[in-house]
Amino acid sequence: MQRMESRRLPYIDGVAAALVDGDGRVVGWTAAAEQLLALDAAQVTGRPARELLADGAVDEHVLGRRAGEVRLRTGTGDPLAVAYQVLPLSGAGGEVRALVLATPADTVARRRQDEAFTRELFLQDRVGLAVFDSDLRLLRTNTHLLPYTGLPDGLAGHHLRDFLQPEDADATEAILRHVIATGEPVVRTALRIRTLDDPGSGVVMEIQAFRLQSLDGAVIGVTALFGDVTELHRYRRRADVLHRATAAVGGSLSVAGTAEDLAGVLVPGLGDRAEVDIAEAVFTGDEPQPAGDGRLAVRRTATAGPPRADDRPLGPLGREELGGPAGSVPDPPSMSAPLQARSGPLGRVTVHRDRAEGPYRREDLELLREIAARASLALDNARRYTREHRAAVGLQRSLLPPAETAVPAATTASVYRPTDTATGVGGDWFDVIPLSSARVALVAGDVVGHGLQASATMGRLRTAVRTLADLDLEPDELLVHLDDLVSQLVVEGSEEERERGVADPSGATCVYAVYDPVSGLCQTASAGHPPPAVVHPDGRVEYLPVNPGPPLGVGGLPFETAECALRAGSVLALYTDGLIEGGDGGDLDEGMAQLAAQLGAADLDGDLAAAGRAIVAEMATAGQSDDVTLLLARLHPVLPDDTAAWTIEADPSAVAGVREAASRTLEQWGLGELVFTTELVLSELVTNAIRYAGGPVMVRLIRSSVLTCEVSDPSATQPRMRRARLTDEGGRGLYLVAQLTERWGSRYTRTGKTIWAEQPLEPSPLSW
């Protein structure tokens, strides 16, 4: 067999090819073939081409075909599907040879797909397609760029300036040149396009373009996809005006402010001049009532744009009679629409534009009507808001305690500033609740939302806290019950309440602190609320180590009580997060640090209310986003000389000793008038404790603003007062205690329960 001097074909190494002689042996092999099959020329040259087939049992006719697909063996052992083409050659002396070209089958498939895609893309007419060379000469397009026939030989070979207005052609070519220069594609850029033979308003074209490059990277042109989006552009413009109008008129509860915002959007959105006329009754919160002839007196409330010859001055004197159809175009360059709400007519809005811009179209009037309808809703809300403002302020003031209070355990002063200082209402609350045994509960809470509905929800929660506080629960237990109540309120909330916008109590926060002036201990628990701050008598400021639990309404999660000792003269500060987060909802840690600094610098030994106002004025901002509440409580102790305590075993004979010890103590305190009543009360309470609970029993007297008698036992059974029958020998003890004292009750403790009874220090004469 004659072999070639070079096993490689020297001139077509860029193509995967093999030269096969008449006997079917490979006599030539290109570098591309070596790379494709991982077989060098030395491994292949001289071998039968059949040995390269991956399928040895291939049909005999395969090798005789001019083109087809076949699987070949590779140097890695993996078969490779290729598409091949056989080119017959005539060698010297009549020698028959063939040049076999091969390409991976998947590459051929992709090329066919590309060709089909390009062919079909130019055949469709839903998306415009244009191909330009590097000089921006139009080479090919699937349709006319515009319905334009001014060029008899078609658009191919022309530049855009040959058939477009110069400024439009320049703007389009600038985009295409940028794509060619940078290679950065342009996506959905809208341009107004006008032709030379129709220089009117033209159309809006949306253009997308990308650069074309040859295999060697040379730039050969740019392709542009385009479509007529004129109607879409008009729709978007109208939608944008509607959106801006809706956002503008919905941002204020002021009648005049809403009218000014509306006029500001209509110019230049719909015209060069806008006038908004509002009925007088709307400004006072009343429902406008048309006169007998159906006309309504209005006030020109807001205007925008240059004045017209028939403009009238603003203010109460600028009045006119409102009538006419519900939306009209009285003059081609003018149109008006009524401001109408469920309560009746509220006014009218009118827009004007220059006659050179042409008359308003029907869709323009429909847009103005839609804007007027939404503005009417905002105006009616502002009217109703004005009407409800007085009721809201009254409700808020009735739901909150006095700004300053004095109880035996503390002197308090509070500052409350709602988000909208013009309304005076919000969802924050605070409370000072006197408890038994001279203790006091300090509360601060925050309901999500603002306004009347938040105030109503706040009232429900404050009432619930007061009711639960009357049970003398531990702080963590009280929050558990409050959390259950909020969860129940959420479940029971009616659909009607949701439609009316009643505030959802879930997510509300609350901190509950109980200060005992006898022991000096303060117990605190939090439901998602920031911890109280304490200012010690030496001026040192720190935050109570409270581990906040989840906000109210989450359910199923525990709360923790933190206990710490506070010295007499300390000031406890409870607040809501509106005070520490600033107007922009800033960092809470930074706000707490600022509050600590303000508390440390404030004069808390003097006027507590003035100090609170100064702190809030320093920290609250004009643009606050939440209500601000600050409650300051200067803590007072009950001195050791004002308490007396005895512990006895469960022996009925010990009752007499308790009476004698209590009598001596009251005489020392100068309360001899209360000896008889106190002996009766203690006798009944101690006897019941010994009889039903066992011992040991602890008895304590506390002198503060009232005289408190306490009897503690290890039983957790709640006592109850009942009406004894005439034949009963007992059952009248608690009834007698209730008659002899100003108030009485019981509370659970960690070791059992405590029954307490209070007597005023200046008792009224006995009635029997």
DSSP, residue by residue, 176-244: HHHHHHH---EEEEEEEE-BSS--SS-EEEEEEEEEEE-TTS-EEEEEEEEEE-HHHHHHHHHHHHHHH
> Could you tell me which residue, 122 or 606, shows the higher pLDDT?
606
Mean pLDDT within 601-625: 85
Among 42-51, 135-144, 662-671, the minimum mean pLDDT is found in: 135-144
So what's the pLDDT on residue 253?
83
pLDDT in tens, 665-724: 999 999 999 999 999 999 999 998 998 888 899 999 999 999 999 999 998 887 766 554
Residue type at 265?
V
Residue 135 clears pLDDT 50, i.e. is over it: yes
pLDDT in tens, 200-237: 667 888 999 999 998 788 999 999 998 888 888 878 88
Mean pLDDT within 289-307: 86
Residue 320 clears pLDDT 70, i.e. is over it: no
The per-residue pLDDT of the chain, averaged, comes to 84
So what's the pLDDT on residue 727?
41
So what's the pLDDT on residue 150?
59
Q: How far is CA 322 from CA 61, 276, 341, 367, 654, in A?
A: 95, 12, 15, 21, 91
CATH architecture of structural domain 400-635: 4-Layer Sandwich (3.60)
Query: 139: closest CA among 122, 116, 164?
Result: 122
Q: How far is CA 455 from CA 378, 388, 445, in A?
A: 22, 13, 12
Strand residues in 382-540 grouped as ranges (E): 404-407, 410-417, 426-434, 440-450, 509-516, 521-527, 533-535
Q: What is the C-alpha to C-alpha distance for residues 288 and 670, in angstroms, rounded to an integer? A: 70
pLDDT in tens, 364-383: 899 999 999 999 999 998 88
Rg value, the chain, Cα: 46
So what's the pLDDT on residue 767?
36
So what's the pLDDT on residue 262?
93
So what's the pLDDT on residue 8?
57
Q: Give residue 516's pLDDT band: very low, low, confident or very high (50, 70, 90).
A: very high
327 burial via Cβ count (<10 Å: 0-12, 13-18, 19+): middle
Residue 187 clears pLDDT 80, i.e. is over it: yes
So what's the pLDDT on residue 325?
44
Strand residues in 576-672 grouped as ranges (E): 628-635, 643-648
Those residues with Cβ within 8 angstroms of residue 243's Cβ, 6 or more apart along the chain or in another chain: none
Taken in order 194, 195, 200, 204, is the CA torsion positive or negative? Answer: negative
Q: What is the C-alpha to C-alpha distance for residues 330 and 350, in angstroms, rounded to an integer? A: 10
So what's the pLDDT on residue 251?
78
- Contact indicator for 746, 729 with CB cutoff of 8 Å: no
Beta sheet of 509-516, edge-to-edge order: 426-434, 440-450, 509-516, 521-527, 562-565
Q: What is the largest CA-CA distance in the chain?
A: 151
Q: How far is CA 460 from CA 465, 467, 503, 533, 540, in A?
A: 9, 11, 11, 26, 36
- Contact indicator for 163, 142 with CB cutoff of 8 Å: no
pLDDT in tens, 48-72: 988 888 876 554 555 557 888 889 9
Other CB atoms closer than 10 Å to residue 170's CB: what's the count?
A: 12
Q: Give residue 11's pLDDT band: very low, low, confident or very high (50, 70, 90).
A: low
Q: What is the C-alpha to C-alpha distance for residues 29 and 40, in angstroms, rounded to an integer? A: 8
- Contact indicator for 713, 746 with CB cutoff of 8 Å: no
Q: What is the C-alpha to C-alpha distance for residues 461 and 467, in angstroms, rounded to an integer? A: 10
So what's the pLDDT on residue 316?
41
Q: Give residue 507's pLDDT band: very low, low, confident or very high (50, 70, 90).
A: confident
Segment (H or E) for 679: helix 675-692
So what's the pLDDT on residue 491?
75
So what's the pLDDT on residue 702?
95
- Contact indicator for 595, 575 with CB cutoff of 8 Å: yes
The most confident of the ranges 134-148, 189-203, 317-331, 465-479 is 465-479
Q: What percent of the chain has pLDDT over 70?
A: 83
Residue type at 494?
S
Q: In the chain, count of helices (H) and strands (E)?
A: 16, 32
CATH class of the domain comprising 640-760: alpha beta
Which own/partner pairs from 419-423 qualify as long-range (CB within 8 Å, at least 24 positions apart)? 419/450, 419/578, 419/624, 419/625, 419/626, 419/627, 420/253, 420/450, 420/451, 423/385, 423/389, 423/392, 423/393, 423/450, 423/451
Q: Give residue 317's pLDDT band: very low, low, confident or very high (50, 70, 90).
A: very low
Give me 501's structure tokens: 């916008």
Residue 576 clears pLDDT 50, i.e. is over it: yes
Q: Give residue 532's pLDDT band: very low, low, confident or very high (50, 70, 90).
A: very high
So what's the pLDDT on residue 497?
58
Q: Give residue 420's pLDDT band: very low, low, confident or very high (50, 70, 90).
A: low
Q: What is the C-alpha to C-alpha distance for residues 535 and 635, in angstroms, rounded to an integer? A: 10
Q: What is the C-alpha to C-alpha distance for residues 119 and 586, in angstroms, rounded to an integer? A: 59
Q: What percent of the chain has pLDDT over 90?
A: 44
Whether the ω angle into residue 10 lies within 30 degrees of 0, i.e. cis, is no
So what's the pLDDT on residue 478?
95
For the domain 233-390, what is the CATH superfamily, name and number? GAF domain (3.30.450.40)
Q: How far is CA 139 from CA 116, 133, 595, in A?
A: 20, 7, 73
3 state SS of 299: strand
* CA–centroid distance for 86 within its chain: 70
Residue 765 clears pLDDT 50, i.e. is over it: no
Report the interhelical angle of 588-601 vs 608-619 (nearest 10°). Answer: 140
> Could you tell me which residue, 233 or 419, shows the higher pLDDT?
233
Identical fold at 233-390 and 640-760?
no
3 state SS of 134: coil
What letter does residue 284 receive in the DSSP assignment?
A: T
Residue 622 clears pLDDT 60, i.e. is over it: no
The most confident of the ranges 33-42, 296-305, 534-543 is 534-543
Give me 724's structure tokens: 């004894």
Mean pLDDT within 649-654: 90
So what's the pLDDT on residue 9?
61
Mean pLDDT within 113-132: 84
> Could you tell me which residue, 355 or 298, shows the higher pLDDT?
298
Mean pLDDT within 161-169: 89
Pick the CATH number of 17-110 from 3.30.1360.170, 3.30.450.20, 3.40.50.1460, 3.90.1570.10: 3.30.450.20
Taken in order 365, 369, 374, 380, is the CA torsion positive or negative? Answer: positive
The most confident of the ranges 61-65, 505-509, 516-520 is 516-520
Report the interhelical angle of 230-249 vs 255-269 (nearest 10°). Answer: 160
So what's the pLDDT on residue 348?
94
> Could you tell me which residue, 699 or 24, shows the higher pLDDT?
699
Those residues with Cβ within 8 angstroms of residue 56's Cβ, 6 or more apart along the chain or in another chain: none
Query: 514: closest CA among 504, 524, 501?
Result: 524
Mean pLDDT within 39-55: 88
So what's the pLDDT on residue 64?
59
Pick the CATH number of 124-228 from 3.30.450.20, 3.40.50.300, 3.40.50.2300, 3.10.20.90: 3.30.450.20
Q: Give residue 730's pLDDT band: very low, low, confident or very high (50, 70, 90).
A: very low
Q: What is the C-alpha to C-alpha distance for residues 471 and 354, in angstroms, rounded to an integer? A: 75
Q: How far is CA 739 from CA 608, 626, 680, 732, in A?
A: 39, 48, 11, 11
Segment (H or E) for 748: strand 743-749
3 state SS of 561: coil
The model carries a pTM of 0.54
So what's the pLDDT on residue 24?
85
So what's the pLDDT on residue 142?
80
The most confident of the ranges 95-104, 148-157, 332-341, 365-374 is 365-374
Residue 518 clears pLDDT 90, i.e. is over it: yes
Among 10-24, 176-190, 216-230, 310-324, the minimum mean pLDDT is found in: 310-324
Domain boundaries, the chain: 17-110, 124-228, 233-390, 400-635, 640-760
Residue 5 clears pLDDT 60, i.e. is over it: no
3 state SS of 13: coil
So what's the pLDDT on residue 91?
64
